[in-house]
Amino acid sequence: DTGVSQDPRHKITKRGQNVTFRCDPISEHNRLYWYRQTLGQGPEFLTYFQNEAQLEKSRLLSDRFSAERPKGSFSTLEIQRTEQGDSAMYLCASSLVRTGGTDTQYFGPGTRLTVL
């Protein structure tokens, strides 16, 4: 299966600790997105990359959050000094966007973060 993969699938941490999540997009996809989903809500956009460039960041993304996509392939999302309000499902998606084409995003299984 060559879909989007995320690691870890579950993470439990104590408040104040740093956590890092990894996302491997579908091969050859040039865009990579991060979303956050809390219980009972739809996903909320956090940030996205076109190849290795971070093109957009939501206002939801506080200074404690940082994302990278160093070689234009996999991406990491780091949360520093976690807070209980950071508990959520973190979803990664990728897409292949060509000029004039559609941005259909394919999602990974998500990383569920629980901050105690």
Partner 1 sequence: AQKITQTQPGMFVQEKEAVTLDCTYDTSDPSYGLFWYKQPSSGEMIFLIYQGSYDQQNATEGRYSLNFQKARKSANLVISASQLGDSAMYFCAILVPMDTGRRALTFGSGTRLQVQP
Residues that bind partner 1 (CB under 8 A): 33, 35, 40-45, 48, 55-56, 58, 89, 91, 93, 102-110, 112
- Of 100, 64, 58, 74, give the one whose Cα is nearest residue 22: 74
- For residues 54 and 80, which CB has a smaller minimum distance to partner 1 in the complex? 54
Our CB check for partner 1 shows the closer of 42 and 85 to be: 42
Q: What's the closest the beta carbon of residue 93 comes to partner 1, in angstroms?
A: 7
With contact defined as beta carbons under 8 Å apart, do 103 and 3 qualify?
A: no
87/28 Cα distance (integer angstroms): 31
Whether residue 8 is preceded by a cis peptide bond, meaning omega within 30 degrees of 0, is: yes
Measured from the CB of residue 20, what is the shortest distance to partner 1 in angstroms? Answer: 20
Q: How far is the CB of 15 from partner 1 (least distance, A)?
A: 24
The first and second tokens of residue 113, run together, are 């973060």
